[in-house]
Amino acid sequence: MTNKLVMATNNANKLREAREILSPLGIEVLSQREAGADCDPDENGSTFAENAIIKAKAVFEAVGLPTIADDSGLCVDALGGRPGVHSARYAPKGGECDKLLGEMKDVPDDKRGAAFRCTVCFMDASGHSEFTGSCEGAIGYEKRGSNGFGYDPVFMVGDRTMAELSADEKNSISHRGAALRELYRFLKERNGDI
């Protein structure tokens, strides 16, 4: 029998990543749409963890199945950690990189450090657990690559942007992948019993 787990998203990329990481445990990951959860909670938390808990709780209460939710964003050192939890609302969709490059135009190389950070929340009837991951890098000077979205074209990992990496390369170092691998270890200790 396959264990079912709902991911509080309908994002195909997030679902694919979670399915790839958790399927060896015999866990079937459903989107919230597939599970019948028609909710879009207000992510008004002040941390990634708070927002992940808000989403997981809403979907768990709607469907009654173990649920995972994530929240993530880009934290830029020179901007005091911004845009952080406001990454999705930092600029109009598609304008994130241009706004960020504008804010960073006078920042020298050694001050361009940044990290993608993610918290995944697992919630079931007994409560919730949180798992975190990060991907360290720096903000480049121009947009490069076409394999990503959001801030990927300006987020440098070594001498390439996240958008210049293949999907497999990106998944192996991504902040969400790291948090999901922590979740995998947690569920494996429970013998995949969710």
- Tell me the per-residue pLDDT of 136-194, one tens digit each, with 9 for 90 and over: 999 999 999 998 789 999 999 999 999 999 988 988 899 999 999 999 999 999 875 66
pLDDT of 36 over the 90 cut: yes
Percent of the chain with pLDDT over 70: 97
Instruction: List, edge to edge, every strand of the sheet that includes 27-31.
Output: 27-31, 3-7, 67-76, 113-124, 127-139, 155-157, 160-161
Q: Is it the case that residue 40 has pLDDT exceeding 90? A: no
Alpha carbon 4 to its chain centroid, in Å, reads 21
As a whole number of angstroms, the distance between CA 172 and CA 146 comes to 18
Q: Which amino acid is at 32?
A: Q
Of 71, 124, 152, 168, which one is the catalytic site residue? Answer: 71
**Average of pLDDT values for 63-84?**
97
Q: Write down the pLDDT at residue 176.
A: 92
Average pLDDT over residues 58-79: 96
Please give the structure tokens belonging to residue 18: 């979670």
Fold of 3-189: Maf protein (3.90.950)
* Residue 52, beta-bridge partner list: none
What's the confidence (pLDDT) of residue 21? 92
Tell me whether the omega of the peptide bond preceding residue 83 falls within 30 degrees of 0, making it cis.
Answer: yes
For every residue of 10-73, DSSP letters joined together read --HHHHHHHHHHHGGGTEEEEEHHHHT---------SSHHHHHHHHHHHHHHHH-S-EEEEEEE
Domain ranges in the chain are 3-189
pLDDT score recorded for residue 2: 52
CA dist., res. 9 & res. 32, Å (int):
6
pLDDT tens readout for residues 107-152: 999 999 999 999 999 999 999 999 999 999 999 999 999 987 899 9
Average pLDDT, the chain: 93
Contacts of 122-128 spanning 24+ positions with Cβ under 8 A: 122/56, 122/66, 122/67, 122/68, 122/183, 122/186, 122/187, 123/53, 123/56, 123/57, 123/60, 123/66, 123/67, 123/68, 123/69, 124/60, 124/66, 124/67, 124/194, 128/53, 128/56, 128/57
71 as an active site residue: the answer is yes
* Residue 1: predicted pLDDT: 37
- pLDDT value of residue 37: 92
Q: Tell me what pLDDT residue 29 has.
A: 96
Amino acid at 160: R
Q: Are 43 and 71 in contact (CB under 8 A)?
A: yes
